[in-house]
């Protein structure tokens, strides 16, 4: 089970600057975002122990979007020390998400 952290305007920059981070931009009313949320929650500890997962609610964290270049939700940013190294737009199913995380963290 993954350890998901929820960003606020106050803590988002601290959360995304911690080594490998998977940032999920979402809205609670978005159907594909809900699917992605379920996939994130179901990730095994073997993957999530190597990265921080941060969910950013676009309705509540406007400041977080200023530099994020997010036009569509859901959007995932794979980040290393605050720099985007890969971007995914749209919902991703769990097996594909697991593959992408493993690729990024070299598991």
Cα angle value 90/13/38 (rounded, 5°): 35
* φ, ψ for residue 88, nearest 5 deg: -135, 130
Supply the pTM of this predicted model.
0.87
Q: Which residues are catalytic?
A: 30, 33
Q: What are the structural domain ranges in the chain?
A: 4-105
Q: What is the DSSP letter of 51?
A: S
3-state helix, strand, coil in the chain (%, to 5): 35, 25, 40
Highest CATH level, class, for 4-105:
alpha beta
Rounded average pLDDT over 3-26 = 89
Q: What is the pLDDT of residues 72-98, one digit of tens each?
A: 899 999 999 889 988 988 887 777 877
Rounded average pLDDT over 1-17 = 84
């Amino acid at each position: 089970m993954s350890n998901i952290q929820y960003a606020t305007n106050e803590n988002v920059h601290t959360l995304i600057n911690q080594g490998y981070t998977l940032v999920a931009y979402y809205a609670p009313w978005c159907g594909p975002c809900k699917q992605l949320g379920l996939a994130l929650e179901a990730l095994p500890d073997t993957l999530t122990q190597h990265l921080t997962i941060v969910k950013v609610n676009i309705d509540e964290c406007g400041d977080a979007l200023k530099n994020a270049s997010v036009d569509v939700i859901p959007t995932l940013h794979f980040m290393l020390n605050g720099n985007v190294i890969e971007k995914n737009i749209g919902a991703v199913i769990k097996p594909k998400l697991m593959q992408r995380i493993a690729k990024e963290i070299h598991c």
